[in-house]
Amino acid sequence: MNRFFSLVYGVVMYAVFLATFAYAICFVGNIAVPKTIDSGAESPLLVAVAINALLLAAFAIQHSVMARQGFKRAWTQVVPKQLERSTYVLAASLVLILLLWQWRPIPQTVWELHGAAATVLSVTFWLGWAILFASTCLINHFELFGLKQVWTYFRRIEHTEPKFRTPSLYKVVRHPLYLGFVIGFWSAPKMSLGHLIFAIATTGYILLGIYFEERDLIKAHGEMYRSYRERVPMLLPFFKASKDRSVLPTLAPRVDQ
């Protein structure tokens, strides 16, 4: 029964994530959902900025704290190890739902493009999400979102931790998954002030998150990650890694989360 419950729990958490993330893509792209980044109840500018900052901070703190190895070691004393990733997915989904629900639009237009330029950004918007999805598949999509863990537990198969590898897109940039996020967030033919604040804040969080993630991994894998860091750019293809090391001097790639 415990094994069956774990499997059901993992599948349900994955379904919650998929629904939430699909809505989030439409939210950012202002696409046919009840509430988007530029729609919904408005608040005075300073109030909207304060509320949105708190929502973004809650999202960043949840992701950063629960992703740390020290937290995971303590957390798995409370939550069964096979459910740790699924529970992380649940927590991330709940915080994202809160953000989508309570986000305050700031609709003042920063730029608005038309014609070919708008078409290009509409295409890159979807390209960013495609890169993100492809990146998760390259490093084992189902393990990333906790399904493999509950499945191996259900089948009584010993779960092994993922090994460092650099398939396909990971040979071009160290973080194609995060690159997909950045492209999706910034590809807006019409950029509102609220969307711009969101894009700046999330991009900053991504860079900070990479720093902490890679610091953990360089401790775990040492010279293997250092060598990879030297060869492969962080986010921008075809830019030598030495250029981004000046910003984040102790980075190494994270491919297992």
Per-residue pLDDT, 219: 81
Which residue's structure tokens are 């005075």? Answer: 44
- Checking if the pLDDT of 51 tops 80, the result is yes
Q: Which of 113-127, 164-178, 215-229 has the lowest mean pLDDT?
A: 215-229
Per-residue confidence (pLDDT) for residue 31, from 0 to 100? 95
Q: For 178-235, write each residue's pLDDT tens digit.
A: 999 999 999 999 999 999 999 999 999 999 989 888 887 788 778 888 888 889 999 9
Q: Compute the mean pLDDT over every residue in the chain, rounded to the nearest whole number.
A: 89
Residue matched to tokens 């379904």 = 15
Residue 62: pLDDT band with limits 50, 70, 90 = very high
Left (φ > 0), alpha (ψ -120 to 50) or beta: where does 115 sit? left
Burial class (CB within 10 angstroms; exposed 0-12, middle 13-18, buried 19+) of 184: buried
Which carries the bigger pLDDT value, residue 165 or residue 16? 16
CB 228 within 8 A of CB 251: no
pLDDT confidence of residue 251: 34
pLDDT digits (tens, 9 = 90+) for 66-78: 887 788 888 888 9
Helix axis angle, 176-186 to 2-29, nearest 10°: 40
Query: In the prediction, which pLDDT does 257 show?
Result: 37
Q: Tell me the backbone φ, ψ of residue 147, rounded to 5 degrees.
A: -70, -40
Taking residues 107-123, report their average pLDDT: 97
Mean pLDDT for 166-173 is 91
Can you give the pLDDT at residue 101? 96
Residue 119 has pLDDT above 70, yes or no: yes
pLDDT at 1: 59
> 151 with 212: CB under 8 angstroms?
no
Return the percentage of the chain with pLDDT > 70, whole number.
93
Average pLDDT over residues 2-8: 94
CA-to-CA distance for 204 and 188, rounded, in angstroms?
Answer: 18
What average pLDDT does the segment 95-119 reach? 97
Whether 254 has a pLDDT exceeding 50, the answer reads no
Helices (H) and strands (E) in the chain — how many of each? Answer: 11, 2
List CB contacts of 158: < 8 A, sequence separation 6 or more.
152
**Backbone phi and psi for residue 30, each to the nearest 5 degrees, phi listed first:** 55, 50
Q: What is the predicted pLDDT for the residue at 250? A: 33
pLDDT above 90: percentage of residues in the chain: 69
At 246, is the pLDDT very low, low, confident or very high (cuts 50, 70, 90)? very low
Rg of the Cα atoms in the chain: 19
Q: What is the C-alpha separation between 210 and 178, in angstroms, rounded?
A: 9
Q: Is the pLDDT of residue 252 over 80?
A: no
Nearest-angstrom CA–CA distance, 86 and 145: 6
pLDDT over threshold 80, residue 256: no
Question: 245 pLDDT exceeds 60?
Answer: no
